[in-house]
Every structure is written in C-alpha cells, then in structure tokens.
C-alpha cells in the first residue's frame, strides 16, 4: 500500500512556490500579497487561518490578516471585500468559511473580484470549472487531484466515486476528474447502497464530514482512497483525536494507495492556496 504523505508532497510544492516568489523579487517585482478575512471565533477556522498565514510567510508571500468579531454585520464584510478588491497591493482575497450566523456567505463570496478569488469559490470561477474552461481551481480538490495523479498519471476511463457534493470539495472534485476523462459518480447522504457504489471505485474521494464512514469492506482491492475528512472525536480512552471520513486501519488492508488524517490532504490544500495566490499576482 502506498501511503500518500501529504506533508512531504506539500513541502515539495511549497519549495517550488518559494523559488518562483524569489525569482519575482530578483526581477524587482513586489512580493505577492494575500488578504485573509476571518470572522468570528470558530476554533477550526482559527487553526486553518494560522496554518495558511504561516505557510505564506515561509514562501515569501505577504499575508494581511483581517479579524472581525462574530457579530460583524454583512455590510461591514462587504465593505471590507470592496476595499480589498480596490487595493492594488492585494493580489488574493480569502474569506475563511463558515461565516458567523447571520452573514450570507454566498453574497460575500460573490462580491470578491473574480481575479482575486484564490479559493475559486466565486460563481464565475466555479462556473468556468464546471464548464471545463481554464479557471482558478479550489485548493482542496486541487490537492486531491495532485495526490491522485501521483498514483495514476492518466485517469482516462478509471471509475471515480466522490462522496460528498459540497461546493468546496465534492462538486469541483467531480469537475476536475471529468476533465481528465475519469468516469465520475457523485454520491451523497441520500445515495442508495453507498457501500456497493464505493466498491466500484478505482478512485474513491471521501468528503462527507462523517467520522470513519467508509469501512474497509467498502473499498475495492488496490483502489486509491483520498480522505478529505477532518473530524475531532473522543476515543474509548476519553482522549480527543482527529479521524478522517475513512476508517484508516481497515482501509489500509485493502487500498492500493491511501491518505492519512492528519497529514494527507490538509497540507496540500495550503500548498495550492499559495500557488493560486502566486498565480493571481500574475
């Protein structure tokens, strides 16, 4: 079984980005700049933003953090986005989701200038991806595809099953796989006989947000399994630990390639954010 070591693979990608940023600076251009907007006090969001800001620093991308209270108004968020859109020193804008209750994430995301949308969440960018046009690719599915292509450089004709239909992972993941000529099925909470469907998959991408949903006997022998889940659970010993959406020990007995949690997809997401920011800087 190939263990897809996201930390090591992401480090390679970050090294490439660092070299490209250095080349820009050597050519007399300014460092790329990413504005990160974090509203409210969701602990997971704070951790993700900390990781993103730290990763920016390590490759020479400037990050500008904007922290807003949980009771921020929609108007204040939209005004901040408008200000960042207009600021020529800002190349990329990331609004960390979820937003606090009472805010309309769709309206905020749609207000971001599409050429500064490093998440690829703006409807224009999401639409381009769905149409198979060149576009900004959302960071998590981009990371998943990178891992998959390590194992399968050519996806044509392979059977892919994506579990989850979210705008952040499932839907763009399906578009990326279709663009590489995989045969793609998108499953979700209402899918009939999910275990049987998963067993058909040469490539199984799981982004369901349900701890250890996918069991060993749902996996075809030799399949490539990408686990996007990050779930905090309390073990039988009372200790909190992180688990994915795939029962790792069981899956490891059957899969041909598998991502761990943590240290699988997560680091790739951050690495692709840096890439998208550098690309937005032009």
E runs forming strands in the chain: 2-3, 33-39, 62-68, 92-95, 159-163, 183-187, 203-206, 224-227, 231-234, 240-243, 257-258
Backbone angles phi, psi at 11, to 5 degrees: -65, -40
The nearest distance, CB 88 to ligand GUN, in angstroms, is: 22
The nearest distance, CB 205 to ligand GUN, in angstroms, is: 15
- Classified as helix, coil or strand, 142 is helix
| Shorter beta-carbon distance to ligand GUN: residue 126 or 255 | 126
Based on the residue annotation, tell me whether 54 is a catalytic residue of this protein: no
CB 143 within 8 A of CB 263: no
The nearest distance, CB 233 to ligand GUN, in angstroms, is: 19
The nearest distance, CB 120 to ligand GUN, in angstroms, is: 9
Q: Which position among 52, 116, 117, 202 bears the catalytic label? A: 52
Q: How far apart are CA 132 and CA 128, in angstroms?
A: 6
Based on the residue annotation, tell me whether 116 is a catalytic residue of this protein: no
| Shorter beta-carbon distance to ligand GUN: residue 61 or 94 | 94
CB 66 within 8 A of CB 36: yes
| Shorter beta-carbon distance to ligand GUN: residue 9 or 94 | 94
Q: Is 155 exposed, middle or buried (0-12, 13-18, 19+ CB in 10 A)?
A: buried
Q: Which position among 91, 117, 119, 245 bears the catalytic label? A: 119
- Give residues in contact with ligand GUN (CB under 6 A): 94-97, 119, 139-140, 168, 269
| Shorter beta-carbon distance to ligand GUN: residue 4 or 34 | 34
Using Cβ positions, the residue closest to ligand GUN within the complex turns out to be 97
| Shorter beta-carbon distance to ligand GUN: residue 129 or 168 | 168
The nearest distance, CB 83 to ligand GUN, in angstroms, is: 18
Can you say whether residue 269 is alpha, beta or left, with left for phi > 0 and alpha for psi between -120 and 50 degrees? alpha
Q: Which position among 91, 96, 202, 245 bears the catalytic label? A: 96
Alpha-carbon distance values, 81 to 44, 87, 90, 128, 240 (Å) = 22, 10, 11, 22, 37
Catalytic residues: 52, 96, 119
């Amino acid at each position: 079984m190939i263990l897809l070591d996201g930390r090591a693979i992401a480090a390679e990608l970050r090294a490439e980005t660092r070299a490209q940023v250095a080349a820009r600076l050597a050519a007399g251009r300014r460092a790329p700049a990413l504005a990160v907007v974090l509203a409210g006090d969701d602990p997971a969001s704070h951790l993700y933003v900390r990781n993103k800001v730290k990763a920016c620093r390590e490759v020479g991308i400037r990050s500008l953090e904007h922290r807003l209270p949980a009771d921020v108004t929609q108007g204040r968020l939209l005004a901040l986005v408008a200000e960042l859109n207009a600021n020529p020193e800002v190349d990329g804008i990331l609004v960390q989701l979820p937003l606090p209750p009472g805010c309309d994430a769709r309206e905020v995301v749609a207000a971001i200038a599409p050429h500064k949308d490093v998440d690829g969440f703006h409807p224009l960018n999401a639409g381009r991806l769905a149409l198979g046009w060149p576009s900004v690719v959302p960071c998590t599915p981009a990371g998943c595809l990178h891992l998959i292509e390590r194992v399968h450089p050519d996806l044509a004709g392979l059977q892919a099953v994506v579990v989850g239909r979210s705008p952040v992972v499932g839907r763009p993941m399906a578009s990326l796989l279709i663009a590489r000529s995989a045969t793609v099925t998108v499953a979700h909470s209402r899918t009939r006989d999910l275990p049987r469907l998963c067993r058909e998959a040469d490539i199984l991408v799981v982004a369901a947000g349900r701890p250890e949903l996918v069991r060993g006997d749902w996996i075809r022998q030799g399949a490539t399994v990408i686990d996007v889940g990050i779930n905090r659970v309390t073990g039988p010993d009372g200790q909190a630990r992180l688990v994915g959406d795939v029962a790792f020990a069981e899956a490891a007995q059957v899969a041909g390639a598998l991502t761990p949690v943590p240290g699988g997809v997560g680091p790739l997401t951050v690495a692709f954010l840096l890439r998208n920011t550098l690309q937005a800087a032009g």
